[in-house]
Amino acid sequence: MNYNPDDFLPLTLQEKSSAEIMRPSKTYWADVWSRLKTDRLAMLGLLTITVIILFAVFGPMLSRYSYDEMDFNFSNEPPSLIHWFGCDMLGRDLFVRVMYGARISLSVGILASIIELLIGVAYGGISGFKGGKVDDVMMRIVDVIYSVPAMIYVILLMVVVGPGLKSIFITLGISYWAPMARMVRAEVMRLKNEEFVIAARVTGASPSRILFRHIIPNAMGAVLVTLTFSVPGAIFTEAFLSFVGLGVSAPMASWGVLSSDAVEALAVYPYQLFFPAAAISLTILAFNFLGDGLRDALDPKLRK
């Protein structure tokens, strides 16, 4: 077979460069952020959460009214240029009380997330990594905790420590990490036989190092999505417990307390219920939008 040697000359550097397909290098989290930014609803949710946090932290400081300042001259005053959200039956400014209530409601959501992250991830990770009888015993404990309604914990704690924010925090500490533990266990059982885990074992890594340095970081996508969806659940739980009288005590104001106080005069002064209920709905909706966006952005199948 005849061939021309000139057809097999090496490419020049310029020819190689012209044929090279260049793509900017991105880390995993940089790629997640770039895809999250394209989701308008997720970014709207993130912006809304940021604004609510800023209002909760700095809003009451900048107002000339305090959350417990009473002025009966403004009792049940409708929204106006002086009192943007109106006043309650005791003449307290509702705008400040809604912002102050955001501190309590958001603190409950943040505390629930911290509890989930610390206890749920560690407990579920150990259960899924160990497997066998250890896994069976640990998961049966989770099943028992998860099967008891949170209301039962609150009622029992009321007898011991009395109603209030402390009872809600203890209730979340007892029961709120169980769903996270289940999810992390499933992720760990899926990942513990992957090749990178086998390679870590071959190099002599200890079980704790394999779990917390190799497996858990690879499950953080699902953990972050679960945390994002759990925050509105904790906020709603606090609002419900405060609404039925098992939450914070006067003069402290959470969104649930404000809603409960406004129900009595709903037919006459509906604005007193509208603003705290709107704050609850807006916060829950924003976290759900952000959670949906994170779920799509963290999906490795959608990574380009």
Domains assigned to the chain: 36-302 (1.10.3720.10)
The residues with which 87 forms a beta bridge, in sequence order, are 93
- What's the pLDDT score for residue 16? 61
| pLDDT tens, position by position, 22-67 | 556 667 677 778 888 888 998 999 999 999 999 888 887 777 777 7
- Let me know: does 39 contact 296? Beta carbons within 8 Å: yes
Token output for 157:
């704690």
| pLDDT tens, position by position, 225-276 | 888 888 888 888 878 777 777 777 766 778 888 888 888 877 888 888 888 8
| pLDDT tens, position by position, 67-118 | 777 777 878 888 888 888 888 888 888 888 888 888 888 888 888 888 888 8
- Give CA 184 to chain center in angstroms: 16
- What's the pLDDT score for residue 67? 74
- What's the pLDDT score for residue 47? 93
**130 to 26, 76, 82, 200: CA distances (angstroms):** 35, 60, 62, 16
The residues with which 247 forms a beta bridge, in sequence order, are none
Alpha helices in the chain (DSSP H): 13-19, 28-37, 40-62, 94-115, 121-130, 132-147, 150-161, 165-175, 178-191, 195-202, 207-209, 216-218, 220-243, 255-263, 271-297
Closest by CA to 103, choosing from 204, 252, 224, is 252
